[in-house]
Every structure is written in structure tokens, then in C-alpha cells.
């Protein structure tokens, strides 16, 4: 827990501590519980948002079938939530590890250091999800709240899923995530901040584009509107 707080309020010190002692299991378990709980509390609103995106040809029976199907899927989704998180964060860590090694081949970089950095950096997404949940639960319209402090709230692109999702991704929490990763990679690899930022942006951009593409394909397969 102390390292998580250092990640939030003293990123340089947190990066130095991770370099010397790359712990991540406790933080991962804590984030798994918080994320699964947040997802469960948000699930009714996510279900309603899914129903509203069904094609206009969907009947009331179709909508009820979707709601029931999503309700039955929740226990399985929660059970595999930590696995999905670990796979996603692990893949990102692998990419970040090899790109970092390419930029700093002489440094004794270890994968567990990069994995620990990625796990602790994800505290930004945890905070973002918690804030979104609070806004959703306190909203008067009963709809899923948008992520605050993102470019999607400034630049409107309602008809384009990829552009709006990308604008939503560009928010204050993502900025903090990139800043911490930049500091951490610079510390682990003894790189200048500018070169470290380039490493992080290369991996983050590729990861973001890949995720958006997968989401777009999924929505097209399910015939969902955005």
C-alpha cells in the first residue's frame, strides 16, 4: 500500500524503490478486488448502455433477452476479471520491456521490474474508474457517466466510435499514467526523460490502437450502435 501511495504522490521515489525491489503481487491483488467491485457496481448501467445501443429493429423481447444474458454472464466475468487484468497488463509489460531494452541494451533491466512498474502505474485507471462510478451513482439521469477531464468532453465526435474512444482515452489520468511510466523507464534504464517518453509513447500508442480496433470489431460483430 505504501508503494501505491508513493506512485501517486512521489513517482520518482516509487520508481527507485521498484528498481531495487520490484514487488507487484500485493498491489495486483488489491487492484483486482477494487476493479471487480467497481465493475460489479457499474454493471447495471453498462447493461442499460448496451441495450440503448442495439439497432432500432430490436424488439422488446430482444432487449429483455440481452439483459438476461448479460445478467447471467456477470459471475463468470467477475471470476475471470483478475485473469483478464493480468493478461492485459502482462502483454503491455512484455512490449515495454523489449522496447526499453532496444533503447538501453547495456542496462541490466529485468522483466519483473517492468511488470511492477506497469501494475503500479495502473492505479491511475483505478482512480479514474472510481471517479466515474461515483459520478454514475450520483447522477440524476441514471445513465453511465462519461470519464471526466478528457478531450471527449471538449471535442465532440458522437458518430465515430474510434475517434470518440481515442478522445476519451486522452484524459488527465492517462497523462499521469504516461508521466509515471516515463519516470520509471528513465530510472530503470538510465535514459534521458525525452528518450524514455519516446519508449512509453511507442508502446502506449500501439496498445491503444490495438484495443480500439478490437473494440470496434466486437461492436460490429454484435451489431451495436455507438
Given a cut of 90, whether residue 56 has pLDDT beyond it is: no
Does 151 fall in a domain? yes
Q: What is the pLDDT of residue 55?
A: 77
Does 27 fall in a domain? yes
Average pLDDT rounded to a whole number, residues 59-77: 88
The confidence band for 226, taking pLDDT boundaries of 50, 70 and 90, is very low
134 vs 15: CA distance, rounded Å: 30
Does 98 fall in a domain? yes
Q: Whose CA is closest to 85, among 129, 47, 48, 50?
A: 129
Number of domains observed in the structure of the chain? 1
Q: Mutual orientation of helices 25-52 and 60-79 as an angle, nearest 10°?
A: 180
Does 17 fall in a domain? yes
Reported as a single tens digit per residue, the pLDDT across 113-155 is: 999 999 999 999 999 999 999 999 988 777 878 777 777 666 6
Reported as a single tens digit per residue, the pLDDT across 190-213 is: 999 999 999 999 999 999 988 877
Does 188 fall in a domain? yes
Distances (CA, A) of 133 to 35, 64, 74, 167: 11, 24, 17, 19
pTM of the model: 0.86
Domain range for 124: 2-221
Highest mean pLDDT among 40-44, 157-161, 162-166, 177-181: 177-181
Does 204 fall in a domain? yes
CB 26 within 8 A of CB 116: no
Q: Whose CA is closest to 182, among 171, 198, 169, 170?
A: 198
Mapping DSSP to helix (H, G, I), strand (E, B) and coil, where does residue 171 land?
strand
Does 226 fall in a domain? no
Amino acid at each position: 500500500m505504501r508503494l501505491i501511495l508513493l506512485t501517486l504522490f512521489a513517482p520518482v521515489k516509487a520508481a527507485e524503490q521498484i528498481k531495487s525491489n520490484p514487488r507487484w503481487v500485493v498491489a495486483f491483488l488489491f487492484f483486482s478486488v477494487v476493479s471487480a467491485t467497481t465493475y460489479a457496481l457499474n454493471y447495471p448501467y453498462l447493461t442499460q448502455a448496451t441495450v440503448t445501443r442495439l439497432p432500432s429493429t430490436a424488439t422488446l423481447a430482444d432487449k429483455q433477452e440481452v439483459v438476461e444474458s448479460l445478467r447471467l454472464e456477470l459471475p463468470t466475468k467477475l471470476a475471470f476479471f483478475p485473469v483478464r487484468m493480468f493478461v492485459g497488463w502482462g502483454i503491455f509489460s512484455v512490449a515495454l520491456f523489449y522496447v526499453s531494452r532496444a533503447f538501453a541494451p547495456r542496462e541490466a533491466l529485468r522483466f519483473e521490474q517492468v511488470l511492477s512498474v506497469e501494475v503500479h502505474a495502473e492505479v491511475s485507471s483505478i482512480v479514474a474508474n472510481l471517479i466515474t462510478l461515483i459520478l454514475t451513482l450520483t447522477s440524476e439521469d441514471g445513465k453511465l457517466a462519461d470519464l471526466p477531464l478528457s478531450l471527449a468532453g471538449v471535442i465532440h465526435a458522437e458518430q465515430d466510435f474510434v475517434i470518440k474512444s481515442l478522445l476519451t482515452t486522452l484524459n488527465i489520468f492517462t497523462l499521469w499514467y504516461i508521466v509515471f511510466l516515463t519516470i520509471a523507464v528513465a530510472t530503470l534504464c538510465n535514459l534521458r526523460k525525452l528518450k524514455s517518453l519516446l519508449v512509453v509513447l511507442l508502446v502506449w500508442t500501439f496498445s491503444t490502437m490495438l484495443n480500439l480496433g478490437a473494440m470496434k470489431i466486437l461492436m460490429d460483430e454484435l451489431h451495436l450502435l455507438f
